[in-house]
Structure 1
Amino acid sequence: MGYGFYECFLSDDGETLDFICNSAETKPMCPEFNRSQVKILKYQCDHTVGTTNFFRNVINTLPNLSTVNVSCLQSSFFSIPMNVKFAKIEILKASRNQLTEIPSGIFDQMPNIIEIDFSWNKFTKILLKHLTGADHLTKIDVMHNNIGYLDAAAFGAVKNLEVLDLSYNKLESIEDNVFKENDKLKLLNLRHNKLLSFNFRIFSPSATDIEVYLPSRSIERLDIGCIQSVCHFKGFQDGDNFDVIKTFKAEGNKFSNFSILFEKLGRSLETLILSRCMFETITHNLLEKFTSLTTIMMTNANISSIEANAFSYQTRLVLLDLSYNKLTDVDSTLFSRKFHDLETLYLEGNQLQRIDNITSANLPKLQSIFVTKNRFSCNYLVKYVVQWKKTIQFGTRQSDVNVVNVRGIDCSYADVSEKSCETETPHSLECPSTLPYIIIITFLNIVLSVIVATAIYWRRKSFKRTVGGLIKTDAGIQTMDSFESAVNMLNNSNNDSFYEEIELKSIPSEGYQTLSNDVLTLESRPLPTPPTTLDKTHKPNHHTSPLDYQYAQVCKR
């Protein structure tokens, strides 16, 4: 129905009005209609006509208008009269144009808008200024643009956002916490971007039940872990296939069936981190698909058992972390395939008592093994550590020096007889700490030494008084009888603390000399032959201490 410059088509219910330009006429003409009844207006004009007059002369005359569609204009310019507010407009559709950004001032003139559609345009980025003032906005559709950058603060201006469609753009990365202000977000579509990585921690901890559509065929690193006990990941979508994925993280995710997830992951997976998940048992076929794995981390995952050959397909492993689980035994088949490349092994915080199957023969490249906080006995650890012929780092712990440990691995004594580490431990090992015992024993030794030294001192002083009167002269020993008296005194003594040695002081060169163990002679003058032997029942005592005399030995056989 032609009406001059404009052609208007009104729906049967009178709520939708199609407004089409016609350049053949010079005057705008439309049929008479109830303007207050129109809620949806679709504007289709040549891109040279513009939108300023349209908003001022047409939209402003429709008091209950809620939806404006200015799509398919192929226009690179979109403007709204700055002095006119369209308070009742809630939906603006401007797809399939040539726009390079969201028009400035749009949310000032349409303060109650809740949905915008700028798909099929030429946006390259979304900045904070583009969304400022969009307090009521709940849905943004910008698919099929050239967006390669999202300002980390941009979506902080749209706290009521629920749906965001960014599909078919050129995003390669998304900054962490970019949606931290969007507690109400329900759907994020990222299909057909160039994302290399995605982290579910970009969302607000307060957001729940978020449905995410990912560009599965480009992602190499995916993190579906939880943040502050909130898990945003609920499952993959139909059609998801992560063929080129290298790293997969699911820390803290309580997903009930990881086998279903693993079906979506490609065989190229190299790093698998499943810490704080719930497994109980690692089945023999759980990881058989991932033969390229070099890192497996399943710490604090409630694992109590590992089926035979569970890791038999992971012959390229460099790091394996099974710490802080409930393992009581390491099955002999666990390392039966000889992990030739394994360098680091974490088994700390389990309930292990023996790890005999972990040997240098099976793990020729092992450099570090962390096995603290298990249930090893000290004697077992000593013997186990010794068997490693090469230098290897055992798990160390920053703890009190009094913690009983071997090479930094804490242990316990099964019984008193087992406390023999120091006799079995090589010099390079660290024996269990015995500091408290050493302090006590040292103190007792000091006291005992003082007592013994005091006794010896008075004994020696008494001996000097007995013998000294006979020999302490510059002329040497005066009579043979006096020397014999001294020797007889030693022989006849019942005190085992008597000395083996007698030191004679100030004996001139012509005095007595020791010529043999048993015979004493005098070089300058004849003397009676001294006794050749001493009492054989006399026991040597090693607490001897020199007297203040020149040395002369009396040997006690």
Structure 2
Amino acid sequence: MRTGVGLAFLCLACCFHGSLSCPALCKCYPRRAEVVCNDVPLTEFPSQGLPKNTSLLTIQFTNISSISEHHLSAMPLLEGLHLYSNNLESLSSHLLRGVPHLKTLDLTDNKLAHLPQDVFSHAPLQSLVLKSNLIETVDADWFPPNSSLTWLDLSGNRLTSIPSALFQRLPHLENLDLSYNRLEKLPPDSLKPLTRLERLNLRNNKLSSLDPSVFQGASNLTFLFLPENRLEKLSPTLFQGLSKLRYLTLDGNQLSHVPPGLLDPLLSLDEEGLDLTVNPWLCDGKVEYFWRWLVKNKQKAFAEVNIICAQPLSLAGRSISSLMENELNV
């Protein structure tokens, strides 16, 4: 029996390694069909010796500048491809044709600027990370209709807008990260197709306003990050329908008032789940709704004592929740 098991394991190892081979400068792990080329002086894709049944390939911190359909088709069982921090500048529209099982693609920290149509249409991707590249525009035609994608990370690029057509192709999306871009606006009703969206990150963009309908339809939103933008006013109906929202950050904007009713739909906020610090709050007669909400919901506000008045001067530096009722009409 032991001899049989030993022979079976040897066969598996040989099958994976291709006669016990492995690309130079890389490491191969037969049991999990994984190849890792990490922080090594590679300048070309490591085709030589790559096991045919590789299911997970990681090439990171190298100098490879191109990857082709031919390279990937040599691994028809590939499920995960991580190409973090290389020098990739372009991708072929047919890149993924030979990897029909690919679910995860990570292209973080490369030099990608323009991507062709259909580039992500030939594999059942569930997770796509394009973080920290040079992308200026997004094309809905990157993806097939009814894409299986659930995770999309476009943070740290140069995006100034997002087409509504993109979201129409991503009905299964659960996580969307658009932080650290240059977005100036979001199209009205743009998130309606994203009925499964749970997490939306818009941190550090250039948003100065939000259409009242922008979050309508995204009723499963649980985490919404909007800090470090240029928001000055919010529609009182902006958060209608977001009864599942547990965490909302609006710190570091230019908000002076909270319109009456804005926070009422947020029934599921976690303890300290709402961050409204670092805004120039005007503590005049219009602050009453916000004051009453804070007094009633102190435990839901992050650093509640740091939500302070900027004006008028007589109240500057005071936390809004510390105000007395007779001070609200200054």
Q: Which has the larger radius of gyration?
A: 1
TM above 0.5: yes
Task: Show CA shifts across 1:496-532 (max 9, x none).
Answer: xxxxxxxxxxxxxxxxxxxxxxxxxxxxxxxxxxxxx
* 1:350 equivalent in structure 2: 253
Q: How does 1:224-243 map to 2 (within 5 A)?
A: 224-227=130-133, 230-231=134-135, 235=139, 240-241=144-145, 243=147
Aligned-pair identity in percent equals 18
Q: How does 1:75-86 map to 2 (within 5 A)?
A: none
* 2:187 equivalent in structure 1: 283
Q: Is the 8 A contact 2:309 2:318 kept in 1?
A: no
Give the CA deviation at 1:381: 6.0
1:369 pairs with 2:295? no
* SS across alignment from 1:356: coil
Give the CA deviation at 1:201: 0.9
* 2:171 equivalent in structure 1: 267
Residues 320, 236 of structure 1: alpha-carbon distance in 2 compared, 3 angstrom cutoff: closer
Higher relative contact order (CA 8 A, sep 6+): 2
Give the CA deviation at 1:306: 1.6
* 1:91 equivalent in structure 2: none
Q: Is the 8 A contact 2:21 2:50 kept in 1?
A: no
Q: Is the 8 A contact 2:276 2:307 kept in 1?
A: yes
Give the CA deviation at 1:213: 3.9
Q: How far, CA to CA, are the matches of 1:318 and 1:283 in structure 2?
A: 21
Q: How far, CA to CA, are the matches of 2:83 and 2:23 in structure 1?
A: 28
Give the CA deviation at 1:134: 9.1
> In structure 1, which of residues 197, 201, 223 is the aligned counterpart of residue 129 of structure 2?
223
AA aligned opposite 2:232: T
Residues 195, 411 of structure 1: alpha-carbon distance in 2 compared, 3 angstrom cutoff: farther
Q: How far, CA to CA, are the matches of 2:289 and 2:161 in structure 1?
A: 41
Q: How far, CA to CA, are the matches of 1:133 and 1:407 in structure 2?
A: 52
Q: Is the 8 A contact 1:382 1:421 kept in 2?
A: no
345-354 or 253-262, larger mean C-alpha shift: 253-262
Q: How far, CA to CA, are the matches of 1:304 and 1:375 in structure 2?
A: 15
Q: List alignment gaps of at least 5 residues for structure 2.
A: 1-14, 25-32, 325-330
Q: How far, CA to CA, are the matches of 2:107 and 2:246 in structure 1?
A: 31
* SS across alignment from 1:275: coil
> In structure 2, which of residues 74, 85, 95 is the aligned counterpart of residue 189 of structure 1?
95
* 2:307 equivalent in structure 1: 409
* SS across alignment from 1:412: strand
Name the TM-score, length of structure 2 as normaliser: 0.68
* 1:325 equivalent in structure 2: 229
Q: How far, CA to CA, are the matches of 1:393 and 1:377 in structure 2?
A: 21
AA aligned opposite 1:411: C
Q: How far, CA to CA, are the matches of 2:19 and 2:113 in structure 1?
A: 28
* 2:8 equivalent in structure 1: none
1:425 pairs with 2:322? yes
AA aligned opposite 1:408: N
Residues 254, 106 of structure 1: alpha-carbon distance in 2 compared, 3 angstrom cutoff: closer
Q: Is the 8 A contact 1:139 1:161 kept in 2?
A: no
AA aligned opposite 2:252: G
* 1:524 equivalent in structure 2: none
Q: Is the 8 A contact 2:229 2:253 kept in 1?
A: yes
Give the CA deviation at 1:355: 0.8
Q: List alignment gaps of at least 5 residues for structure 1.
A: 1-97, 108-123, 397-405, 428-557
Q: How does 1:43-442 map to 2 (within 5 A)?
A: 101=18, 145-150=52-57, 152=59, 156=62, 159=64, 163=68, 165=70, 166-167=72-73, 169-175=76-82, 177=84, 180=86, 182=87, 187=92, 189-191=95-97, 192-201=99-108, 203=110, 205=111, 213-214=119-120, 217-227=123-133, 230-231=134-135, 235=139, 240-241=144-145, 243-255=147-159, 258-259=162-163, 262-263=166-167, 265-337=169-241, 339-357=242-260, 361-367=264-270, 368-378=273-283, 384-388=290-294, 389-396=296-303, 407-416=305-314, 418=315, 425=322
User: May I ask how many residue pairs the two structures share in their alignment?
Assistant: 290
Name the TM-score, length of structure 1 as normaliser: 0.43
Give the CA deviation at 1:395: 3.0
AA aligned opposite 1:341: K
Residues 184, 321 of structure 1: alpha-carbon distance in 2 compared, 3 angstrom cutoff: closer
Q: Is the 8 A contact 2:179 2:201 kept in 1?
A: yes
